Amino acid sequence: MTIKTITGHNGKTFKLGRRRPLAHGPRLRFGHFLRADAPPPPPAVANYVKSGSAPIQDAMGDILGNDDFGDCTCAAVGHCLDVLRANNNSAKKWRPATRADALEFYSRVTDPSFDPETGANDNGADEVTVLNIWQKQGFFADGSGKIAAWAQVDPSNETEVKQAIFLNGNVYFGVPLPDRWVNPMPRISGFTWDVAGDADPDNGHAFYGYGYSAKGVLIDTWGMSGTITWPALKAYCDPHVGGGLYTVFGPDWISSVTQKSPSGFDTARLETYLGLLFA
């Protein structure tokens, strides 16, 4: 796969790099979990970057190598962990993900392996492989930053998307972007991605959602924050056009003191449910 490079208004370059996933066995659906657990309705808005402890704002501005390489799938993982840790009230100290962390993880999710030293084998990655290896090996080289499980989210169900973000602190996007989202590139934070024609399979990109509003999901990509509207989310995350939307269940989201998430979700119920699913 040839990684596509996009040039911004100031001459700065950005990379794509999301590959469409192949089949990787059965997948847990987040909607099934919601039916089993019956959580209360999500609040009208959520923003876990705004609520997170410092230095989360600075951390989200780090592109994590996605200006030079097609590691968008891995940069999104790093920023997801940053937000989970920044909102965990028992994590007095946390280290933001770095460019080196993201590129090392990129080397583990690619075959042949990407070489961070030379840039060889920069062929992109698919988010399902990334999610599976994140679960088994962790994001960081020492094996930390693991997730307990991941699930597909229905992009056509606005309430389900909100519940995934409110309860888990995240949604993870794998999307073929329409050309008008990247030509021209967003200039600064505060951009909006709305329905803009057909998805382009050559514009595969992954990014992280950390909140939502009445307008849509709050996202982080290429060191900028923006919004993908609810209609656009339904249009481009649809598996029938090659998109995907997921959420992860991560221990970095859970307080070791209260055994609850920042949203107050009791993790004992989650652990019991996941135990039944994966027994």
Sign of the alpha-carbon torsion through 28, 166, 47, 214:
positive
Task: Give the single-character DSSP code of 10.
Answer: T
* CATH number of 122's domain: 3.90.70.10
The confidence score (pLDDT) of residue 31 equals: 83
Q: What number of H helices and E strands is found in the chain?
A: 9, 12
The confidence score (pLDDT) of residue 7 equals: 85
52-101 per-position pLDDT tens digit: 988 898 999 999 999 999 999 999 999 999 999 999 866 667 889 999 99
The confidence score (pLDDT) of residue 278 equals: 58
Task: Give the single-character DSSP code of 29.
Answer: B
Q: In DSSP terms, which residues pair with 68 in a beta bridge? A: none
Q: Give the whole-angstrom CA distance, residue 156 versus residue 173.
A: 14
192-222 per-position pLDDT tens digit: 999 999 999 999 999 999 999 999 999 999 9
Q: In DSSP terms, which residues pair with 229 in a beta bridge? A: 216
Q: Give the whole-angstrom CA distance, residue 141 versus residue 137.
A: 8
Q: 201: cis peptide before it, omega within 30°?
A: no
The most distant pair of C-alpha atoms in the chain lies apart, rounded to whole Å, by 53
Answer for the pair 30, 165: CB distance below 8 angstroms, yes or no.
no
Report phi then psi at 58, rounded to 5: -65, -40
Q: Please give the residue range of the domain that contains residue 61.
A: 5-278
The confidence score (pLDDT) of residue 263 equals: 85
**240 pLDDT higher than 70:** yes
Q: Residue 170: is it exposed, middle or buried by C-beta count within 10 angstroms (0-12/13-18/19+)?
A: buried
Tally of domains within the chain: 1
30 in helix, strand or coil?
A: helix
**146 pLDDT higher than 70:** yes
> Per-residue confidence at 176, pLDDT binned at 50, 70, 90?
very high
What average pLDDT score do residues 166-190 get? 95
Q: Alpha helices, DSSP H only, in the chain?
A: 30-37, 56-60, 72-87, 99-109, 127-137, 158-168, 179-182, 230-236, 267-278
115-145 per-position pLDDT tens digit: 999 999 999 999 999 999 999 999 999 999 9
Give the mean pLDDT of the chain.
Answer: 90
